[in-house]
Amino acid sequence: MAKEKFDIIQSTCIPIQIDNCNTDLIIPARYLASTTRDPKFFGDAFMHDLRFDAEGEPIADFVMNQPEYAEAPHKGVHEIIVGGQNWGNGSSREHAAWAIAGYGVRVVISSSFADIHRNNLLNCFVLPVIVSKEFQQELFDSIAANPQTEVKVDVPNQTVTNLATGHSEHFDINSYKKYCLMNAYDDIDFLLANKEKIEAYEKKEEVAPETPEASETPEVEEADFQEPAPAPTYVEATTEAPASEPAEEVAPIEVTTHHESEPFVPKKLLPINRGLASFFFLSLITLGIYGIVILSKISSEINLVATRYDGRKTTNYLWILFLWGWLTGGIAYFVWFHCISDRIGNELQRRQIPYSFGASDYWLWCVLGAFVGFLPLVYTHKLLSAMNQLNADYNQKG
């Protein structure tokens, strides 16, 4: 399927208000026997038995044959489908995702998706966006009132906006898949892009011939050593007796995985929708108290998200404000903001979240920008946005 980078997609929509629209409706079973991967072939088969009768004539009542929605998808036109609840249930055929992508659709919005179909869409460079049932119905109502209603899907900020009403919702996406969509990478492209890192890791793991110097074991603190978890073992079913000698064990490569079938359930959901406007005005109304509270919460949240990976612990902002800041003549404030900005930036990179933030942002926008007057707000916006993305990733993966 076509690989095109995802950024902001703003388009009119095709409303397919069918709950439990299964993969048999999305593409009939007779098309599964084809060996071609021609996008147009599968695009023409998209919703075929609802679009055409037995003689191949268009069914006038079906939404895709109505004049307002019959135009084939292209830039800004019908690139988004608003579907009913439980979109893509039924069989796991990947051809359903091929058909949607082949027709030219880039985004499917629904209040729920079948898990396998959702993953197939992502693999075919179609973005599945999950919204609330209320927002889903609002989209249907807006499109019914005006078929030219546009919806904006902001992939970097993970928001979907009904431009007819101005209402927005945040949507979740696996950070790895988000990175791939924004860079037009499939899984192979991602590996090739990291070829040098993989080769460097393999060279690092090569075992050198044993020498007297190499045999000497340096002293290692017990607390610094953690035994890696064993790699999963997959055994093919067989009727043969097991071999007399066990297979050679392969050292596991440390990777971070996310199992869609076994979602991570956090002890508590961290906030993901903090914005600069509310931060500024509520801080103004409360004489700065709201800002102090949010910074204190951020210092606790970054510890929850990152401490088990980087072994660091950020001091709560209240201690900086009421104790260390005074004792150090204000120096502690600079050190604290430098350290937390650097730590947030490192955690964004570790989680492969494509958002640029770090200590340099603090010194550029907040410290030097203070001479201009309003530029520290840029730093505040970037800080809140970075934490929103880290918290969203934590809520999904831990």
The secondary structure of residue 31, as a DSSP letter, is: G
- Full residue range of the structural domain in which residue 283 is found: 276-397
Same domain assignment for residues 53 and 173: yes
Q: What is the pLDDT of residue 14?
A: 97
Q: Is residue 96 part of a domain?
A: yes
Residue after which a domain boundary falls, among 129, 156, 187: 187
Q: Which one of 165, 187, 209 terminates a domain? A: 187
Q: Which of 172, 187, 202 is the last residue of a domain?
A: 187
Distance CA 187, CA 203 (A): 23
Position 267 scores a pLDDT of 58
The number of CA neighbours under 13 Å toward the Cβ of 76 is: 1
| Residue 223 included in any domain | no
Strand ranges, E, within 62-149: 80-83, 107-110, 127-130
Q: According to the model, what pLDDT value does residue 376 have?
A: 86
Say if 47 falls within a structural domain.
Answer: yes
Residue 281 sits in the same domain as residue 179: no
For the chain, 398 residues long, the average pLDDT of each consecutive 10-residue run is 87 96 92 82 92 91 95 95 94 90 96 94 95 96 96 96 96 93 91 88 68 46 43 43 43 42 59 89 91 93 90 91 85 91 92 88 84 83 92 83
| 129 part of a folded domain | yes
Pairing state of beta strands 8-16 and 150-154? antiparallel
Is 183 in the same domain as 305?
no
Answer yes or no: do 160 and 284 share one domain: no
What pLDDT was estimated at residue 131? 96
Q: Are 181 and 282 within one domain?
A: no
Grouping H, G, I as helix, E, B as strand and the rest as coil, residue 74 is strand
183 and 287 part of one domain = no
Question: What pLDDT sits at residue 248?
Answer: 42
Residue 229 confidence (pLDDT): 45
CATH number, domain at 128? 3.20.19.10
Number of other residues whose CB lies within 10 A of the CB of residue 128: 25
Q: pLDDT value at position 2?
A: 67
Does residue 208 fall inside a structural domain? Answer: no
Supply 155's token pair: 């992939």
Do 61 and 166 belong to one domain? yes
Q: Centre a 10 Å sphere on the Cβ of residue 145 and count the other Cβ atoms it contains.
A: 9
pLDDT of residue 252: 43
Distance CA 142, CA 241 (A): 65
Inside any domain, residue 251 = no
pLDDT of residue 223: 42
**20 domain-assigned:** yes
Evaluate whether residue 15 is within a structural domain.
yes
Give residue 251's pLDDT.
42
Q: How many domains does the chain have?
A: 2
The pLDDT value given to residue 365:
83
